[in-house]
Amino acid sequence: MGREGREAGSGTGGARRVRAYIGLGANLGSPVETLAFAVHALSGLPGCRLVGVSRLYATDPVGVLDQPEFRNACVALDVPAGPDPATGASALLVALKGIERAFGRQDRRRWGEREVDLDLLVFGRHRVNVERPAEGRSDDPAKARMPLVVPHVEARRRLFVLAPLRDLAPGLVPPGWGETVATAAARQTKLEGADAARPISHWDGEGWAGLH
């Protein structure tokens, strides 16, 4: 699997960490500013270390087309492994939902507009399928009982996820995929078209610079 998906070793106090990849998206309010703040919030999570930030992408909406285009990115984060993968991934999910709510995330139609969206894409080399903890559930009753599934179910078929993930981990083979992120991204580019995910900026350590 290579370094991109390897266990991340020890963190503070010898705690074991794993490499997680988080997808970020927004298309309401000030998406670029919101996503930059979200990156800093992720880097400040207890026991976590920010490893990398992708370029920022302008992406076409999927599923619901009558909405503004999105801004999407991805971060690599070394996070506490927890006593087992299900517990570690669930704890990270709760932290992601907390950040979303802090930034005013509202439950809306499926594939619809988002103030901010933080998705757990990959959690080390682990496959997880568990009931979500109460703090990690959607407020929408129709989605409240959806399980936490990692790797993310839709990631392999969405260029708005694959393009920024490829920036950070092109050679990563997420559990169950049987192909690298780069291979999946190339396939989806052919299906969706290169213009479906367009890089518009690079991360300079504080925010996305050189917007175009």
Q: Known catalytic residues?
A: 105, 114, 117, 119
Q: Which amino acid type is present at position 3?
A: R
Q: Are 127 and 176 in contact (CB under 8 A)?
A: yes
pLDDT for residue 135: 77
12: confidence class by pLDDT, cuts 50, 70, 90: very low
| Candidate CATH numbers 3.30.70.560, 1.10.10.10, 3.40.50.300, 3.40.50.1950; the one for domain 3-209 | 3.30.70.560
Name the pTM for this structure.
0.88
List pLDDT tens digits, range 116-166. 889 999 999 999 999 888 777 766 555 667 888 999 988 999 999 999 999
Enumerate residues 6+ apart whose C-beta is below 8 A from 127. Answer: 85, 150, 151, 175, 176
pLDDT for residue 116: 85
Q: Are 72 and 23 in contact (CB under 8 A)?
A: yes
Greater model confidence, 49 or 139: 49
Q: What percent of the chain has pLDDT over 90?
A: 61
Q: What gap in Å lies between CA 21 and CA 78, rounded to an integer?
A: 9
- The residue extents of the domains of the chain are 3-209
pLDDT-wise least confident of 9-13, 84-88, 123-127, 178-182: 9-13
pLDDT for residue 140: 57
